[in-house]
Amino acid sequence: MDTRIGIVGIVVEDLSCTEQVNAVLHEYARLIVGRMGLPHRERGVSVISIIVDGSNDEISALTGKLGRIAGASVKSMITKTSDKGGGSGAV
């Protein structure tokens, strides 16, 4: 399966939707390589960044579900090339 590496950024503007965001992230945990979440108390928001590794369809499904949650904004950036399992792993 062709997979891509990507970054998903989530800004939770309405903290009451945090449970919904976490439920979607849990549902797609198999795609998540790393996650960092920070509260920005002065602005009353939380910012979550996620590194994902999956097919275009899987990543699109994740970001689509997150994007439908009222109170959260989502943006993603995905690599242009895919890895068919034969990558060297070098950075």
Question: Which stretch of DSSP H or E encloses residue 3?
Answer: none
User: 6 near 75, Cβ under 8 Å?
Assistant: no
User: 47 near 38, Cβ under 8 Å?
Assistant: yes
**Distance in angstroms (rounded) separating the CA atoms of residues 59 and 31:** 8
Q: Give the pLDDT score at 85.
A: 56
Q: What is the mean pLDDT of each run of 10 residues along the chain (91 residues)?
A: 93 96 97 97 96 95 97 94 58 44
**Domain spans, the chain:** 4-78
- What string of H, E and C letters represents the secondary structure of 28-61? CHHHEEEEEEEEECCCCEEEEEEEEEECHHHHHH
Is 73 exposed, middle or buried (CB count within 10 Å of its CB: 0-12, 13-18, 19+)? Answer: middle
For domain 4-78, the CATH class is alpha beta
The whole model's pTM is what? Answer: 0.85
**Distance in angstroms (rounded) separating the CA atoms of residues 7 and 31:** 11
